[in-house]
Structure formats: C-alpha cells, structure tokens
Amino acid sequence: MAMPYVSKLAFAQSPDRPFMPIPALVNGSDGPVSLKMQTGLWSFDGKIKTPTWGLSQDYMGPVVRTRRGAELALHYENTLAEAVSIHGHGLHVTGELDGGPQRAIRPGTSWSPILPIVQEAATLWYHSHTHKRTGPHVYNGLAGMIVIDDDNSDSLPLPRRYGIDDLPFIVQDKDFNQDGTLLYNKVGLGRFYAEHMTVNGIIQPRVEVPKGLVRLRLLNGSNGRFFNFTFTDTRVFHVIAGDGGFLEEPVEVTTLFVAPGERYELLVDFSDGLPATLRSVQAERGEGTSPAFNPIQGEQTICTFEVNPRIAPDLDVRVPPRLNDIAWLDPKEAHITRHFTMATINRKMVINGRMMDMARIDHRVQKGAVEIWDLDGDVHNFHAHGCSFQVLSINGKTPPAHMKCWKDTVITDAKASFIVRFDHTASDAFPYMFHCHLLEHEDMGMMGQFTVEA
Ligand SMILES: [Cu+2]
C-alpha cells in the first residue's frame, strides 16, 4: 500500500534564529500552583502561529520548583474538550497522587493533589498520561518540568541562576502541515519522528550563555525520538545528574545518548567565548547505550550556543569533584525477580504477551521489598512509576558511568536489568504503571499496572 502523501511545511533557514525562551518559573512554596490545561497559539519558528495546548500558557507549562520536605500543592484545571490525566514523572508519591490513566480529569473539572516531596534534588517532569491519548497530548504541549532542590543541591558550587546559567532544556521534534498546524503522523508500528528539532518550543534556537559554566537541565520530551547529543567542536561536557538525582561524581563525556522521558543535568563550559552547535549524531554500538538497531534517524542540529559578554559569569561555580552519596541497593537482598518482555506480536504492542487493560492488575509488589526487574525484547524504553531504580546492566554489560544514579526510565537495547524498592503504596483503584515511554507504543498498549501493598 502506498503511504498517504503528506505535504509538510518547510521553514526558511535563516542565521537569525529566534532565541530559546525560558519557561516561566513557579515556586511551589509561594502557594498552590495553578496549571490550567488550555488551548493556545505558539510560534515554533518565531513567525507562523500554530494552535497548541499548554498549562497556564500557550505551549507546555511553567517550570515548577519545589523542595525536599515540602508539600507541593498543584491545581490542575481542564478547560480542554477532552479528558486528561496528568502524571508527575519520577515523583515518589502514592498511586492516588501519581496521575495515571485512572485519574482522568474530565472537561470542566479539576484535580488538586498535594504532593509530599520526600525525594532528593532532581529534575522531573509532568505530562499527560491519558489512556490511549498520551502521544497526541504531549505533542500538543501538555508537559512541563519540575525541579526539586534540597540541602545537598544548595551546598554544591553549581550554576543556579535560573534562565541565566541554569537552563531548562526540553528537546522535542515537531512536524507541521502547510497551514502551520502541528502534524502528527505515525509511521510503521507507531513510530513517530518529525523533521524539526525544537528546544523549549523553538526550532533550532540560539541560546545565549555567559562566558563560563552553564548547567542544562536536559529533558528528552519527544514522543519517540532518541538523541545522541554532541557538540560540533566535540567539546567535553560533564553529566552531573540523571533522572532521579545527582551522580556521585561528574562524568566527562563528548556524546550523550538520551531516550524519550530521560533527564540529565549537564555542565558545559563556555569560558572559551566561542559559539558552539549542539547536534544529534548516529550512535555507535558497544557502550551499552546504543541499541541493536540504530534508532537515531539521521543527524540533526539542535541549537547554537552564543556567548554574550554582557551576561556576567558566576565566578564561584565549578565542576565539583563530589556530588552525592547514593545508597546502592544490593542484588543479594532482592527477594523476587520479575521479567518483562516487550514485543510486537501480530502488530500488537505487548509486555509479556499482554496489552494494557485498565481492569487488570499485572503485578502485586510488597512495599519496602527489594526487587530486580529484568527487561528484554526489542528496542524500547521502559519507565516505572512510583520509584527511582538503579540500572544493573544494559544488554548484559555494566551500564555507562552516567547512568550510575537514580533513574526511572531506561532503554532496553534488547536487555536491561534494574534493582528497585517501592516505598509508597498504590491501590487497585489507583495502581502504578510500567510501560514503554515511546508514547505511541504506550498508547498502543505497551503498558501494564501494578499495586504496591503494605
Ligand atoms: Cu516501545
């Protein structure tokens, strides 16, 4: 069968790219955070207006800042024409507060969870987790970042001036119809790749930075695209944190493979004053981060960093030698190993042969017990709710150094294994999800449910 011809909008390439916008910052300590799901108009290229969705803004939502020990009050209000579930990705909260598919917010209604923040400093995110609609919802803009601070993050000599040298950095790919509307066209078995790379909602933006050290809070907020980031001048940068918190020590890299849903915090040194272009390039095999078939669809320019001498660098920041103490879980203490096989059977996306069924609980986990979860199958990207875990292996090998931190999302690359302990409960009425975080696979049923019982 011939593929339907889709006429895509092309954008004029101009050296005067728009600057990367900095999302509004809302501090949870100032009172309940209002997140109104609404329609909007947003320009991804600085010119053409595109109908989008956002949370209290035209496209995506504000960065919500909170602190370990705080209670974060959110007020989600749905002014859209369809039901939406909103999940706090990476949050250690009960199933009741997790925002999974069962917690649908109908049009014209709201949900006001109060989230006890008990976990360490990390960069998380919130996004639509609506039954069978997560892909189009996130693509339209129902996503935003959460930043958790704690005493340790306060004490480290890291860049912390929001929007100046501490930058939220949400990378997504987008396509457009000729009329400027967003084009959401899945190919093959639900794979979605678009041509235009955006950061914080702008196609290939210019990013102004001080002549010094800059911290990027990198989120791959794409539906299905993997990135293998590198600078064209192959400059070294440091990974300081992963999904659920800081690494113990910074890890020096020149490339970084990032799957959808993953976060990494990076330190990039611009003290040479030179501009730098960030690209995504083909991944090489053999480092535990490169999948059996290469999911990087071509080489992409992401953005250009330009040093602005009028932005004063913070002279007190540096790459600290030590970042965190991680309590490593011991595989000898694991009392159960669960197996998850992610596969396509008869054009159905399944885990252990089964598609998502909201009426079925797939696993019952005991609160406080250490478990090993073994993943295998094709190249997918596994996420579990209600926890952070520690990756034991990827494709039989020790995970790369930058994954030696708390994580909640991991590429399976044929095989992966992690160790985990669930410290919060999830009931039959509001279970946690485990699923492929390629959003189209999730929407097609590559997901299951588990309870955590005291
Ligand atoms: Cu998948």
User: Is the predicted pLDDT of residue 298 greater than 90, yes or no?
Assistant: no
Q: Which residue has the higher pLDDT, 412 or 268?
A: 268
Ligand 1 centroid to Cα of residue 268, in Å, is: 31
For residues 354-373, give the mean pLDDT. 98
pLDDT given at position 12: 61
pLDDT tens by residue, 328-349: 999 999 999 999 999 999 889 9
Domain boundaries, the chain: 25-155, 166-307, 331-453
Same CATH topology for 25-155 and 166-307? yes
Indicate if the pLDDT at residue 287 is higher than 60. no
Q: How much is the pLDDT for 293?
A: 43
In the chain, what percentage of residues exceed pLDDT 90?
Answer: 85
How many angstroms is it from 151 CA to the middle of ligand 1? Answer: 37
Q: How far apart are CA 87 and CA 435, in angstroms?
A: 13
Residues linked to residue 166 through DSSP beta bridges, in sequence order: 162, 215
State yes or no: pLDDT of 188 exceeds 90. no
Give the model's confidence band at 185: pLDDT under 50 very low, under 70 low, under 90 confident, else very high: confident
Q: Report the separation in Å between the CA atom of 395 and the middle of ligand 1, taken as the mean of its atom positions.
A: 16
CA 265 – ligand 1 centroid, Å: 24
Ion ligand 1 residue ranges (Cβ < 5 Å): 380, 436, 438, 441
Identify the sign of the CA torsion 441, 444, 450, 451. positive
Quick one: CA dihedral 63, 319, 262, 243, positive or negative?
A: negative
User: Taking a C-beta distance cutoff of 8 angstroms, is the pair 386, 432 a contact?
Assistant: yes
Q: Which CATH architecture has domain 25-155?
A: Sandwich (2.60)
Confidence of residue 296 (pLDDT cuts 50, 70, 90): low
CA 310 – ligand 1 centroid, Å: 45
Q: What is the pLDDT of residue 4?
A: 42
The one-letter amino acid at 29: S
Residue 201 pLDDT > 90: yes
Q: Which fold has domain 166-307?
A: Immunoglobulin-like (2.60.40)
pLDDT above 50: residue 424: yes
Is the pLDDT reported for residue 295 higher than 60?
no
Q: What's residue 3's pLDDT?
A: 40
Give me the pLDDT at residue 180, please: 95
Q: What is the pLDDT of residues 39-63, one digit of tens each?
A: 999 999 989 999 999 999 999 999 9
3-state SS track over the chain: CCCCCCCECCCCCCCCCCECCCCCEEEHHHCCEEEEEEEEEECCCCCCCEEEEEECCCCECCEEEEECCCEEEEEEEECCCCCECEEEECCCCCHHHHCCCCCCECCCCEECCEEECCCCCEEEEEEECCCCCHHHHHHHCCEEEEEEECHHHHHCCCCCCECCCEEEEEEEEEEEECCCCEECCCECCCECCCCEEEECCEECCEEEECCCEEEEEEEECCCCCCEEEEECCCCCEEEEEECCEEEEEEEEECEEEECCCCEEEEEEECCCCCCEEEEECCCCCCCCCCCCCCCCCCCEEEEEEEECCCCCCCCCCCCCCCCCCCCCCCHHHCCEEEEEEEEEECCEEEECCECCCCCCCCEEEECCCEEEEEEEECCCEEEECCCCEEEEEECCECCCHHHCCCECEEECCCEEEEEEECCCCECCCCCEEEEECCHHHHHCCCEEEEEEEC
pLDDT average, residue stretch 271-281: 95
- Other residues' Cβ atoms within 10 Å of the Cβ of residue 285: 12
Centre a 10 Å sphere on the Cβ of residue 4 and count the other Cβ atoms it contains.
6
Average pLDDT over residues 239-256: 97
pLDDT value at residue 192: 83
CA 20 to ligand 1 center in whole angstroms: 30
Query: pLDDT at position 352, please?
Result: 97
CA 134 to ligand 1 centroid distance, Å: 14
79-98 pLDDT per residue, tens: 999 999 999 999 999 999 99
pLDDT at 378: 81
pLDDT averaged over every residue in the chain: 93
**Ligand 1 centroid to 40 CA: how many Å?**
30
Distance 442 CA to ligand 1 centre (A): 7
451 touches 364 (CB < 8 A): yes
Tokens 């949870």 found at:
28
Task: Tell me how far apart the 2 most distant CA atoms of the chain are, in Å.
Answer: 61
Instruction: Please tell me the predicted confidence (pLDDT) of residue 288.
Output: 40
- Give the Cα separation of 117 and 69 in Å (integer): 6
State yes or no: pLDDT of 16 exceeds 90.
Answer: no
Model confidence at 369: pLDDT above 50:
yes
**pLDDT score recorded for residue 286:** 41
**d(C-alpha 173, C-alpha 193), whole Å:** 7
CATH 2.60.40.420 fits 331-453, yes or no: yes
Report the phi/psi class of residue 40: left, alpha or beta, with left for phi > 0 and alpha for psi in -120 to 50: beta
Span from the CA of 31 to the centroid of ligand 1 (angstroms): 38
pLDDT at 202 over 50: yes
pLDDT recorded at residue 187: 64
Higher per-residue pLDDT: 9 or 173: 173
Asked whether 411 and 261 are in contact (CB, 8 A), the reply is: no
